[in-house]
Amino acid sequence: MYFYRDLFASLCFLFFGAALAFQHPYLYFAAMMCGSLAITAKKKMWKDPIWATLYMKRFEKWIGKIKSK
């Protein structure tokens, strides 16, 4: 699971879309910072927070119940 990488990559695209829509320089800067944090999280292999891991286990268990029906 790549919690931080996915989180910052999602925020990067969100800020970049807003920057294109509103043409505001701070939104471009926020997109750039989120992109750099996403790459850093991947290179440094940041561990997922415990609550995200537990949430994914519960989610996968729930999906397993749905698939078995």
Q: What is the pLDDT of residues 28-58, one digit of tens each?
A: 999 999 999 999 999 999 999 999 999 999 9
Q: Does residue 69 have a pLDDT over 80? A: no
Contact 48, 1 (CB under 8 A): yes
Q: What is the pTM of this model?
A: 0.79
Report the pLDDT averaged over residues 12-19: 98
Cα 58 to Cα 69: distance, rounded to the nearest angstrom: 17
* Local structure of residue 49 (DSSP, 8 states): P
Confidence of residue 6 (pLDDT cuts 50, 70, 90): very high
Cα 48 to Cα 57: distance, rounded to the nearest angstrom: 13
% residues pLDDT > 90 (the chain): 87
- Quick one: pLDDT at residue 50? 95
Half-sphere exposure of 9 (CA within 13 A, CB side): 10
